[in-house]
Amino acid sequence: MSRLKGALVQTWPRIAIIAVIVAIWAAVYATGYWDTIQLPSPTSVWDALWSHLDGRDGLLALAYRSLLRLFVSLAVSIAVGTGIGLAMAASKVVQRSVGSLMVGLQALPSISWLPLAILWFGMSAKAILFVVVVGAVPAVAVATASSVRLVPPALVRAGRTLGASGLELYGKVVLPAAVPGYIAGLQQAWAIAWRALMAAELFVTGARGLGHFVAQAGEAFDTPLVLATMIVIMLCGIGVDLLFTLVDRRVRRRRGLLVPS
């Protein structure tokens, strides 16, 4: 019963805000102020969503392709970015050199790499993966370095007092203490990767994905399908964020960092 109550407490605000948005949307549509191409009805968007859900090029299949690209590129970004971030945290020289480069790359919009990626890889999925990785690696690197640097000095002193030093101190004290901050950084990195993926898919015609599909719907002036695809993109983002949130809560709970609600 307590779990059911907790689930209801977590769920009802999300359902309530969606209901409010749909109600306002329906009310505005009922005024007839906007053309149906500019603002379709909620029911027409639902029909477009339902009718394009299945099939080889349906929204579910496209979502699978986009999410697969996200996880592949994110895995590469985490592997590369974590290594760079650890080097930045361990060496002031690396921090001043590579760290400055990572900050500069992080400030550069990921989509800026797309023309170069197309020249190198053509209008293909490789170009999309390149854009996503280049956009996500700096975010992972900066988050990794920041999480290590924010480890409380008292923990480091306590580890040294107990006899830990060098790699042992780093592996048994510093890195475990940096995990919560590291996961929080990954939550930001995946969002950057997802936005970069959608932006790249908008322009790369050789790759079938949610981003390209919403662009095609826009070119056909199919506003209900545009909104339906945007809803699927949002739902995918919410699902991925939920995975990271569950991991974050589990890590914090095991370390006694989760404040009871």
Q: What span, in angstroms and rounded, lies between the C-alpha atoms of 138 and 103? A: 7
Task: Catalogue the long-range contacts made by 45-49 (C-beta closer than 8 Å, 24 or more residues apart).
Answer: 45/224, 45/227, 45/228, 45/231, 46/228, 47/224, 48/222, 48/224, 48/225, 48/227, 48/228, 49/228, 49/231, 49/232
pLDDT confidence band for 129 (50 / 70 / 90) = very high
Q: What span, in angstroms and rounded, lies between the C-alpha atoms of 132 and 73? A: 6
Q: What residue type is 249 in one-letter code? A: R
pLDDT confidence band for 107 (50 / 70 / 90) = confident
Going along the chain from its start, the domains and CATH numbers come out as: 44-254 (1.10.3720.10)
- DSSP-derived letter for residue 258 is P
Burial class (CB in 10 A: 0-12, 13-18, 19+), 141: buried
Question: Half-sphere exposure of 84 toward its Cβ, with a 13 Å CA cutoff?
Answer: 22
> CB of 153 within 8 A of CB of 221?
no
A 10 A CB-CB count for 14 gives 10
Helix (H) or strand (E) holding 158: helix 153-161
pLDDT in tens, 28-53: 888 888 887 888 888 988 998 898 88
Span 190-194, average pLDDT: 89
> CB of 138 within 8 A of CB of 103?
yes
Give residue 241's Cα distance to chain centre. 7
pTM above 0.75, yes or no: yes
Q: What span, in angstroms and rounded, lies between the C-alpha atoms of 183 and 129? A: 22
The residues near 93 (Cβ < 8 Å, ≥ 6 apart) are none
Please name the residue ranges forming H helices in 150-209: 153-161, 166-169, 175-203
> CB of 107 within 8 A of CB of 165?
no
Span 70-78, average pLDDT: 92
Span 249-261, average pLDDT: 65
> CB of 125 within 8 A of CB of 207?
yes
SS3 203: helix
Token reading at 32: 């007839």
pLDDT in tens, 137-179: 999 998 888 888 877 767 666 766 666 665 656 666 666 777 7
